Chains A and B, each alone.
Chain A
Amino acid sequence: MNDTILEVRGLSRYFDRGLTPAVDHVSLTLERGKIYALVGPSGCGKTTLLHCIGNLENRDGGSIRYAGKAPEDIRSWPKFRREFLGFVFQFHYLIPTLTLQENVESALQWSGTVPVHEKRARSAALLETVGLQHKKDMFAENVSGGERQRAAIARAFANAPDLVLADEPTGNVDSKTGAMILDYMKEYVRNENKTILIATHDPDVEAIADEIIPMKDGRIRSVSERS
């Protein structure tokens, strides 16, 4: 089995008609079973890089391969995002008109990997894992910020994606919730042999990462591997 889950070569994304390089010739390789921390100051291009990797943002140059597969070979991006990619955003980004459980189910709805009758049970189990089983029928506006982010984590991991792209997942939660989220991520990577790329400022995230990817002015500096 190929251990490379993502290979990025010379990826660039410019704004302001090409005047502002948000991501400038970035190359990186991510392997299975590892947590990567993408670190750098605000505005250095971390979020844009995550969006380009998730094909949420167009790229102006360079290439990406997902487990050896080129973007051009992906016939359905919605299906690919459901099955291969998971997104965690800095702000929870839950759908306000759905309950916490329905929010988790919304990621499972289109998944062919989960039988219909299991989807409800699976979403309940995921919420239980993040300690929200008692609040599954509540709407996002009626729970705390930390609880919302935990529900968003449950949604991102619902389909057991191969690669999770997390943008400041602990940026807006208290330290206890942050620790809980990081524990969940660590377990997920170890147990499922999956990969997480986390854009962060949080030293606690850097502490659990297998590799640190420093970024500045849209470029990646040398990648440091932890022992």
Chain B
Amino acid sequence: MLKLIFLNALRNIRRNMLRSLLSVFIIGSMVLLFVILHTVSGMLTGQFARALMHYDIVVQSRYANSPLGSHIDIDAYRQMQREEGLKDVDAVSVIQSSRNGNGLWIIGVSNYPVFAATFGILLQKGRVFKKGSSEIMIGNNAINILRRGVGKSVALNGGPRLKISGTYSSFFTLLNSAVLTDLEKAIELSPSKKSISMLLANVHDNRSVDAEITVLRRRYPELVILKTETVGGSMTTLRDISAMTLMISWLVFATAAIAILNSLLITTIQRTKEIGILSAIGWPKSMIVSIFLTESMILSVSAALGGAALAKPLLWLFRHATSLSVYIPDSIAPDVLYKVAAMALFVGLAGVLAPMIYIFRMNISKALRHE
């Protein structure tokens, strides 16, 4: 029974090869788009939010869309270090740079051990930069961008030559395309020479985070002071990317489902007589629908596999063939692949809806007379 259903479905796909290929192409493209968007935005939103959860409070300047556009006066940082209610006030300076046509981030940190623990920095070669020295550590992707290794020196942003003390990797993939150095050194390399991008802090009593934030907001009206729990949703860029991804995901779902639904409805109408014959010889309509369901599933799963398989080379192509300053990861997170599998299942099921209604409402005698 299952063999006949499968064979029938497979041969029907072959019989309508051009239409089937077009459906697979359309759905595959949708899946590809879905995977790339989720990979890029997932990297930005998910990893960032996860890393920041080690702190109670995040501080950035007003009207900043991201740490890159945030400029906190160094005096405010010094003053905040003296706040009674706060402990572990760490500063991070993020400077956008480029090298050999690739985006490169220069990140200065005030407290390397805590930063390393928070962002999962694993030393791969050499050693950690010395505080106050002209040393840098480079991420494992930055090695390819800078084309330099441990022990060599490199000039960044027109500044003095800095010695590469070590290489590292991080779960926070953005950092793998970055250069890590001491905060003071990063400030020297920044265009303004006096500002930092973000402050991260813990409060002494973590039950009074909200109260502490209220006090700080009064004292530092020029700064945006947020609880890290809300930072993912409050940072405009991340929020916009999340919203855009969600919207495009729905569009992708709908477009892929409509594409397969349209293709299957046409093939169902073309095969009206065949459906009538099967009904006349005693096939239950549910089993006739299962032929179309099998076809729908074969098309959607093939498209999902194709789209997902093409995503990685396309990400690689974006990384290497464009000079985009936005970091593009070269690996696809498993949760994105799970979403693609769910999407294939959903699209496959949705695709058979219209044929199912058509089949169940069909008059067998009329179907047999269908030309």
Contacts and interface: CB of A to CB of B under 8 A. Distances in A.
A56 B1 contact: no
A182 interface: no
Contacts of A78: 279, 282-285
Interface of B: 1, 4, 7-8, 11-12, 15, 273-274, 276-285, 287, 363-365, 368
A105 B281 CA distance: 11
Contacts of B7: 97-98, 102
B8 A97 contact: yes
Contacts of B284: 76, 78, 110
A79 B284 CA distance: 8
A105 B280 contact: no
B365 A56 contact: yes
Interface string A81-111: 1110101010001111110001001110110
Given A78-B283, A109-B4, A93 B273 contact: yes
B282 A110 contact: yes
Contacts of B279: 56, 78, 81
State the main secondary structure of chain B at its contact with A: helix
A87 B280 contact: yes
A97 B281 contact: no
Given A81-B281, A97-B11, A107-B281, 7 more contacts: A56-B279, A81-B279, A94-B277, A95-B278, A98-B4, A98-B7, A156-B281
Interface of A: 48, 51, 54, 56-58, 76, 78-83, 85, 87, 89, 93-98, 102, 105-107, 109-110, 155-156, 159
A102 B4 contact: yes
A50 B19 CA distance: 37
Contact of A106 (B15, B278, B365, B368): B278
A96 B283 CA distance: 16
B148 to A, nearest CB: 62
A102 to B, nearest CB: 6
B282 A82 contact: yes
Contacts of A54: 280
B282 A95 contact: no
Contacts of A98: 4, 7-8, 11
B11 A81 contact: no
B277 A93 contact: yes
Contacts of B11: 97-98
Contacts of A82: 281-282
B4 A89 contact: no
Contact of B282 (A51, A58, A81, A93): A81
Nearest to B367: A56
Nearest to B9: A97
24 contacts: A48-B365, A51-B368, A54-B280, A56-B364, A78-B279, A78-B282, A81-B279, A82-B281, A89-B277, A95-B8, A95-B274, A96-B274, A97-B12, A102-B7, A105-B4, A106-B4, A107-B281, A109-B4, A109-B283, A110-B1, A110-B283, A110-B284, A156-B281, A159-B282
